[in-house]
Amino acid sequence: MTTALITGSTAGIGAAFARRLAADGYSLVLVARDKERLRRQATELHDRHGVEATVLRADLATDAGIAAVERRLADVRQPVDLLVNNAGFGHKGRFLDVPLADELTMLKVHCEAVLRLTVAAAKPMRERGRGGIVNVASVAAFLPRGTYGASKAWVVQFTQGVARDLAGSGVRLMALCPGFVRTEFHERAGMGTGNIPKWMWLDADKLVTAALADLARGRTLSIPDPRYKALMGAARLAPRGLLGGISSRAGRKYGPAHGEDGAMGELPDGVAESGDGMGDAGAGPDRTKKSAPKVKGATGAEPTTGPEPAAEPEPARTPEPAPKSKPAAKPKPAPRTKAAPDSSVE
Confidence band for 181, pLDDT divided at 50, 70 and 90: confident
* Most confident option among 41-50, 82-91, 199-208: 41-50
- The reported pLDDT for the residue numbered 121 is 99
DSSP 166: T
pLDDT above 90 (res 250):
no
Provide long-range contacts, Cβ within 8 A and 24+ apart, for 299-307. 299/64, 299/68, 302/64, 303/64
Confidence band for 95, pLDDT divided at 50, 70 and 90: confident
Model pTM?
0.70
- 3-state DSSP helix/strand/coil % of the chain, to nearest 5: 45, 10, 40
Residue 71 neighbours by CB distance under 10 Å: 16
Confidence band for 265, pLDDT divided at 50, 70 and 90: very low
Q: What is the pLDDT of residues 120-171, one digit of tens each?
A: 999 999 999 999 999 999 988 888 778 999 999 999 999 999 999 999 999 9
Span of 33-37, 62-66, 67-71, 274-278 with lowest mean pLDDT: 274-278
| The CATH classification of domain 3-225, taken from the options 3.40.50.300, 3.40.50.720, 3.40.1210.10, 3.30.450.40 | 3.40.50.720
Q: What is the pLDDT of residues 281-303, one digit of tens each?
A: 345 554 433 333 333 333 333 33
Q: How far apart are CA 44 and CA 41, in angstroms?
A: 5
Which active-site residues does the annotation give?
A: 148
Domain coordinates in residue numbering, the chain: 3-225
Computed over every residue of the chain, the mean pLDDT equals 75
Backbone angles phi, psi at 250, to 5 degrees: -65, -40
- The reported pLDDT for the residue numbered 115 is 99
Q: Which residues contact 232 (CB under 8 A, 6 or more apart)?
A: 139, 142, 177, 223
- The reported pLDDT for the residue numbered 224 is 85
State the sign of the Cα–Cα–Cα–Cα dihedral 133, 217, 256, 38.
Answer: negative
Span of 101-105, 231-235, 238-242, 304-308 with lowest mean pLDDT: 304-308
